[in-house]
Amino acid sequence: MKTKLIAPSLLSADFGNLQRDIEMLNNSQADWLHIDVMDGRFVPNISFGFPVMKTVQQHAQKFVDVHLMIVEPEKYAEEFISAGADLVSVHYEACTHLHRTIALIQEKGAKAGVVLNPATPVLMLEDIIAEVDLVLLMSVNPGFGGQKFIENTYKKIAETKDLILSNNSTALIEVDGGVNLDNAGRLFEAGADVLVAGNAVFSSESPERTIELLKI
Ligand code: DX5
Ligand code: ZN
């Protein structure tokens, strides 16, 4: 898979014009569509679930990247895959049986990612890195768009890269939270393969142009 991918987060889209915003992303240089699912338990916010996924499935022409910020994600992973998820990422902090959940997602035909909160060390992934398709590093505390980027993420990208290389893993590194035009270049240089951007894309005057600029 080619790197320097941009995954705009639908959380910052205009839900009254969801089809329009998805079509805008279809016609842009966005690579993936990032879908943030929040349950009000794992994170202190509730976003959306299957009805919105149905709209995404109907209109999206891009790779659908689902980020589950929910407890017991193993209960819903299969339904998200049936609703069009190409990749499902689950939080390390939300999975008692992470190995089983990763295997379940892959058996049901999707790519599987593991997500780390800002305070969870990369070394916790040592015994799962060979199995996952992606590591998603949270660069804000999950729950809300538009927060400030946590600088310690650069160190975690380097550590994740080392872990991937020393285990012959093919996992991609995705960074989520506070990504903008000022830090995107440095994040790609540090080793990120995929950058999620919500606020930076949707609150800009030209979301399509911002997506292009995030890749430079
Ligand atoms: C945060 C979500 C992010 C969020 C990113 O809990 O996981 O995907 O939408 O939004 P920005 O880019 O605005 O920080
Ligand atoms: Zn996310």
Predicted confidence band of residue 3 (pLDDT cuts 50, 70, 90): confident
**Percentage of residues in the chain with pLDDT exceeding 90?**
98
How many whole angstroms separate alpha carbon 66 and alpha carbon 57? Answer: 12
Ligand 2 centre to CA of 35 (Å) is 7
Atom of ligand 1 nearest to the CA of 138: 7
Task: List, in sequence order, every beta strand (DSSP E) within the chain.
Answer: 5-8, 32-38, 63-69, 87-91, 111-116, 134-138, 172-176, 194-197
Find how far residue 124's CA is from the centre of its chain. Answer: 19
Please tell me the number of Cα atoms within 13 Å of 148 on its side-chain side: 3
Looking at the CA of 65, name the nearest ligand: 2
**Percentage of residues in the chain with pLDDT exceeding 70?**
99
Mean per-residue pLDDT for 157-174?
98
**What pLDDT, on the 0 to 100 scale, is given for residue 47?**
98
> Residue 193 belongs to what domain range?
5-215
CATH code for position 137: 3.20.20.70
pLDDT, mean over the chain: 97
Question: Residues 101, 73: contact at Cβ < 8 Å?
Answer: yes
Query: Does the CB atom of residue 112 touch ligand 1 within 6 A?
Result: no
**What pLDDT, on the 0 to 100 scale, is given for residue 78?**
98
Mean per-residue pLDDT for 134-149?
98
**What pLDDT, on the 0 to 100 scale, is given for residue 117?**
99
Q: Which residues neighbour ligand 2 (ion) by CB within 5 Å? A: 36, 67, 176
Query: In this model, does residue 183 exceed pLDDT 50?
Result: yes
Q: Per the confidence metrics, is the pTM higher than 0.85? A: yes
How many structural domains are present in the chain? Answer: 1
**What pLDDT, on the 0 to 100 scale, is given for residue 1?**
46
Mean per-residue pLDDT for 23-35?
98
Question: Which pLDDT tens digit goes with each residue over 61-83?
Answer: 999 999 999 999 999 999 999 99
Predicted confidence band of residue 138 (pLDDT cuts 50, 70, 90): very high
Alpha carbon nearest to ligand 1 atom 1, residue: 142
Query: Does the CB atom of residue 204 touch ligand 1 within 6 A?
Result: no
Mean per-residue pLDDT for 150-155?
98
Ligand 1 centre to CA of 196 (Å) is 7
**What pLDDT, on the 0 to 100 scale, is given for residue 192?**
98
**What pLDDT, on the 0 to 100 scale, is given for residue 216?**
87
Question: Which pLDDT tens digit goes with each residue over 112-130?
Answer: 999 999 999 999 999 999 9
Query: Does the CB atom of residue 12 touch ligand 1 within 6 A?
Result: yes
Alpha carbon nearest to ligand 1 atom 6, residue: 142
Alpha carbon nearest to ligand 1 atom 9, residue: 145
Instruction: Give the CA diameter of the chain.
Output: 46
Atom of ligand 1 nearest to the CA of 147: 14
Query: Does the CB atom of residue 8 touch ligand 1 within 6 A?
Result: no
As annotated, the binding site for a divalent metal cation includes 34, 36, 67, 176
